[in-house]
Chains A and B, each alone.
Chain A
Amino acid sequence: MANPSWGMVIDNDKCTGCNACVIACQSENNIPINEEDHFTQRRPIQWIRIERYWEGEFPNVKARFIPVLCQHCADAPCEPVCPVYATYHNDQGLNVQVYNRCIGTRFCANGCPYQVRHFNFWEPEWPDSLENQLNPDVTVRTRGIMEKCTFCVQRIQRTKRESEKNNTSIKDGDRQLNPACVNGCATDALVFGDFNNPESKVSKMKKKELGHGGHGDHSDHDGHEEHDEKRGYHLLEEYGTHPSVVYLKKVDYESKTVEKH
């Protein structure tokens, strides 16, 4: 069987901006609590974040949400610039970060157009009450290194191990496999799965919404969009990163327009 190529489909139409995915990620991946100071210093660590944009003039203001996480690009700009191979592409389509190798040049963070790489400016600290909450499967990162979304690689690996042990195949949409953010999403806006498996939900959605199996390269940046059924797009396609995350456009029923960031 071919190696899996993990990926995600994010439906902006379903996103309510509730931030549950952010919290789920935070607790799953041992991310230190972002306090007010972190935000005023512009140093919060959020492997997934909800970007909120206001559209229109008061009183007709609409909030637009777009969850942004590491896109696990096939041609990731962060990979070639790392001098110590702390970030590289593995055979499962994941862009992995090796914490032990990282020396903290922050070159990758500059290379990433999605701004999803985070630097540990401080030594991570938790209140005493949360000390026992830490996930034993996830490394606690020290100060001075980069970290970012892993698609919850620990969950993927655990599921893989168990399925090998039980001689079963990995089920699509298995809650044991899904990253924490997908499990936490109340509206199923986030769907996780294997793009190499044509039967998986993500593959079908991608096929339906993006129109073709390969990485999309639309050249219609000029604003004249085709108003057809297909809502799929990649974030910042003009950088040629070929992400593993497919976004689906927001459908605005009031103005009958399709929103695209």
Chain B
Amino acid sequence: MQEHIQLNQKEINDISLSPILETPKWWLPAVLITFGFIVTGLAAFFYMVYHGLGVTGLNRPVFWGFFIVNFVFWIGISHAGIMISAILRLTQAEWRRPITRAAEVLTVFSLMAALHTPLFHVGRPWRTYWVFPYDFSRGVWPNVRSPFVWDPSAVGTYLIASTLFVIICLLPDLAIIRDRTTGLRSKIYGILCLGWRGTPRQWKMQTIVGILLSALVLPVFVSVHSIVSWDFAVIAGVEGWHSTIFAPYFIIGAIHSGVSAVATFMVVMMWVWKGNDKILRPDHLDAIGRLLIIVATTWFLFLFLEVAFALFTLERPEIALRELQFFKWPFSGLFILFLLTSYFIPVPMWMFKNVRRSLPLMFISTILVNVGMWLERFLIIVPSLSRKTPFAFDWGSYTPSIVEILIVTETFAFVIFGLLLFSKFFPLIPLFDIKEGMVFRDEIKIGRRTVPASIRE
């Protein structure tokens, strides 16, 4: 089934390096458009800083809104890279090879997007650095009991680790670009590739560092989203948040949305860069689709448990909350949309092999998943706050303002902008990884069948 197109090394080089050595026509307009969105978003942000958070739709009791939803969403997307790269690398799944780089880069940029969202969220962004344990003159350490102190350290560690991961995996490819360019560019790539010559010792180190980083980044990966979930779950005062299941529920949801985002990105890569469809095959989409069925179903199980245990005691505040979340317009509509888009449309679609191997259908279904997962975070955060206390007097609601929407758009534009820039200067397809896979790949003939095989189990 794994019908690979047998490419020789030169063809792989040509395909993967073409976006760098020759700029596609659409690249500059795309960059400019996303940059325009970024500028608009930042303008909205400064408008908000100047006037105060009153320009958002936030109120009492819904103190957290679009920004936190968006923060959780991007943290979720960032789990894609490590899921694909680290877990699949450690379990030696061969199909991961062509998409590892894309997944890691998506991780890095979505983490950056997530990390600057709290700046939008807080009341005094110019003081946000106070959550870091830096300033001894102030005489106050950050409060280590607060999940908002765990957050920056976990997310920061994750960003550093995944950036390192990308750089380590880039080194051999940078050396190739160094050898294929001339003049200043060659010099710059020469500096960036840290003197990579491809000696056996360098290869060995690169492999070991790769495996070590994947193993070490895994606990970070788990801790990041657990901590994000504890931003909510530790609050006993909010009925909808105080659930022990939140940490694993958020993680599996993050993997669901992250892997879907990688699939979306893969399809886009196959569409917009010519030649990529020779390396990224429907096989890979197929494998991702099958992985997604398992992930999505596990996620759905956690969702079920979360709701079941919330209703377990049939307490009145909890019932009031769930009534709002499931049955009151507009949340009811969003809830149905969320169920459909995150599970009931995509998963039955992925059951069919034809769908898993079709580019447009995979594109649509994975985009749907992320629409659903964005809504999931919204439905966790906003209705829970609207029905926060047993005091019916203080129930509230929330409508986002145009400023919030513009700022949220900025983060999406930022990620796309980052990916576009990256694709111009670095190969999005890991050359060395694919070549390594080719060397290890073998086939065994048993009777009349040919079975794919690989060196190392």
- Asked if the two chains touch in their complex, CB atoms less than 8 Å apart, one says yes
Structural contact, B143 and A119, CB atoms closer than 8 A: no
**Cβ of B85 to closest chain A Cβ, rounded Å:** 31
List, in ascending order, chain B residues with CB within 8 A of A239's CB.
236-237
In chain B between 121 and 136, which residues have their CB closer than 8 angstroms to a CB of chain A? 121-124, 127-128, 130-131
In angstroms, Cα B255 to Cα A151, docked, is: 47
List, in ascending order, chain A residues with CB within 8 A of B314's CB.
none
User: Which of the 9-residue segments A102-110, A152-160, A173-181 touches chain B?
Assistant: A102-110
* CB-based nearest B residue for A101: B140
Interface centre among A42, A51, A101, A146 (most CB of B within 10 A): A42
**Cβ of B54 to closest chain A Cβ, rounded Å:** 4
Query: Using a Cβ cutoff of 8 Å, how many contacts connect chains A and B?
Result: 135
Total interface residues on B, CB under 8 Å, equals 43
Q: A43-B60, A85-B143 are in contact. Are A122 and B54 (CB under 8 A)?
A: yes
In angstroms, Cα B124 to Cα A101, docked, is: 10
* Selected contact of B63 from candidates A52, A80, A81, A110, CB within 8 Å: A110
Structural contact, A144 and B123, CB atoms closer than 8 A: yes
**Cβ of B351 to closest chain A Cβ, rounded Å:** 40
Structural contact, B122 and A144, CB atoms closer than 8 A: yes
Structural contact, B147 and A81, CB atoms closer than 8 A: yes
In angstroms, Cα B123 to Cα A13, docked, is: 39
List, in ascending order, chain B residues with CB within 8 A of A111's CB.
235, 237
Structural contact, A115 and B391, CB atoms closer than 8 A: yes
Structural contact, B52 and A115, CB atoms closer than 8 A: no
User: Which of the 9-residue segments B23-31, B194-202, B382-390 touches chain A?
Assistant: B382-390
Structural contact, B53 and A144, CB atoms closer than 8 A: yes
Interface centre among B122, B123, B236 (most CB of A within 10 A): B123
In angstroms, Cα B63 to Cα A52, docked, is: 23
List, in ascending order, chain B residues with CB within 8 A of A240's CB.
236
Tell me, yes or no, whether A123 is within 8 Å of chain B by CB: yes
In angstroms, Cα B23 to Cα A73, docked, is: 63
* CB-based nearest A residue for B393: A51
Interface centre among B142, B237, B392 (most CB of A within 10 A): B237
Q: A81-B235, A83-B146, A84-B131 are in contact. Are A110 and B385 (CB under 8 A)?
A: yes
21 contacts between A and B (CB under 8 A): A41-B59, A51-B393, A52-B393, A82-B146, A84-B130, A84-B131, A84-B143, A102-B124, A103-B128, A106-B64, A107-B146, A109-B60, A110-B63, A110-B64, A110-B388, A111-B237, A115-B60, A115-B61, A119-B63, A121-B59, A240-B236
| Chain A residues in the interface with B (C-beta under 8 A) | 41-43, 51-53, 68, 77, 80-85, 101-107, 109-115, 118-123, 142-146, 236, 239-240, 261
Q: Which 5 A-B pairs have the closest CB atoms?
A: A104-B123, A144-B123, A113-B237, A143-B52, A42-B59
